[in-house]
């Protein structure tokens, strides 16, 4: 009994630490002002771990009906398996470099600020810059509309940033209507078809190679949607992301993967 009591005390301390950690992290994510409501996920996490802390005290969990406890264990178990699977899938593309000498590149948009691209967006654009320098024949499409909290469309802002770094504007195309990743792919592919018909080398669309550029955690879903949405040869190029914001990004991206699960990975590379 004494050993059981020590284990229970340790668990209560663990749940409390998790609750405090989630609460602190929600404040950090809210303070970033990214325009998303993902900090709510961490508030929910705080509530969840406070509930575990409460139920694990004074034998409260043991008083819960057995069927409720069994169902709770099953739901948590399935949720944990799904979550960990999503993390493995994302991590498997963290180091993607993109196939060399691609015909086209699509940079998935992210937030523009008054000072220029957000940190996350800058990582995507910097990865695109390095690739374009090393692959001088690749045409780059930068995709993303102007959000209510943005001074300029993401596509236009991204193109301006790459031009400022020395990439010739002739190699850059701004796409300013995409609202989300699906749109980035759909509208980007329409531009590829039009550009290839006018300036291409006569390749069939199935022979065209396309690199999808986004932050490391987002590559798995980005190339999955691209392989579903275009018959081209698709590869991914992973930009970095701030270490502090990786947990938030990967939890939020897990929800995106679940939303798009029927669209991702349908057509093999």
- Contact by Cβ (8 Å): 123, 266: no
Please state the length of the chain: 269
Residue 26, token pair as written in the block = 């929600």
Q: b/e string for 199-237 if b means 16 or more Cβ within 10 A? A: ebeeeebeebbbbbbbbbbbbbbbbbbbbbbbebbbbbb
pTM exceeds 0.95: no
- Which alpha helices (H) appear in the chain, and where do they start and end? 2-32, 39-55, 66-91, 119-134, 154-164, 181-199, 219-229, 246-259
Q: Is 254 exposed, middle or buried (0-12, 13-18, 19+ CB in 10 A)?
A: buried
Into how many domains does the chain fold?
2
Q: Domain of 37?
A: 2-91
Same domain (yes/no): 163, 61: no
Confidence of residue 198 (pLDDT cuts 50, 70, 90): confident
Same domain (yes/no): 83, 127: no
Distance, CA of 87 to CA of 81 (rounded, Å): 10
Give the model's pLDDT for residue 262.
64
Mean pLDDT of the chain: 91
Same domain (yes/no): 189, 143: yes
Residue 36 scores a pLDDT above 90:
no
Same domain (yes/no): 83, 202: no
Confidence of residue 268 (pLDDT cuts 50, 70, 90): very low
Same domain (yes/no): 124, 74: no
Same domain (yes/no): 219, 157: yes
Residue 178 scores a pLDDT above 90:
yes
């Amino acid at each position: 009994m004494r050993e059981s009591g020590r284990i229970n005390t340790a668990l209560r301390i663990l749940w409390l630490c998790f609750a405090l950690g989630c609460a602190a992290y929600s404040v950090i994510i809210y303070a970033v002002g990214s325009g998303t409501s993902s900090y709510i996920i961490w508030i929910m996490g705080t509530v969840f771990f406070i509930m575990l802390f409460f139920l694990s005290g004074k034998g409260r969990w043991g008083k819960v009906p057995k069927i409720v406890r069994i169902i709770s264990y099953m739901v948590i178990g399935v949720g944990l398996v799904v979550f960990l699977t999503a993390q493995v899938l994302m991590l498997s593309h963290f180091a993607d470099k993109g196939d060399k000498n691609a015909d086209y590149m699509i940079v998935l948009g992210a937030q523009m600020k008054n000072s220029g691209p957000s940190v996350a967006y800058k990582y995507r654009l910097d990865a695109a810059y390095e690739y374009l320098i090393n692959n001088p024949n690749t045409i780059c499409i930068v995709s993303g509309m102007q959000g209510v909290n943005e001074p300029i469309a993401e596509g236009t802002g991204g193109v301006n940033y790459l031009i400022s770094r020395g990439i010739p504007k002739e190699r850059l195309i701004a796409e300013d209507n995409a609202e989300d990743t699906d749109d980035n792919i759909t509208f980007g592919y329409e531009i590829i078809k039009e550009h290839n018909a006018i300036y291409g080398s006569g390749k069939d669309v199935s022979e065209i190679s396309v690199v999808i550029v986004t932050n490391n955690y987002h590559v798995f879903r980005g190339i999955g949607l691209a392989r579903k949405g275009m018959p081209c040869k698709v590869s991914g190029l992973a930009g970095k992301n701030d270490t502090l914001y990786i947990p938030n990004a990967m939890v939020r991206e897990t929800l995106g993967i679940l939303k798009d699960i029927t669209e991702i990975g349908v057509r093999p590379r």
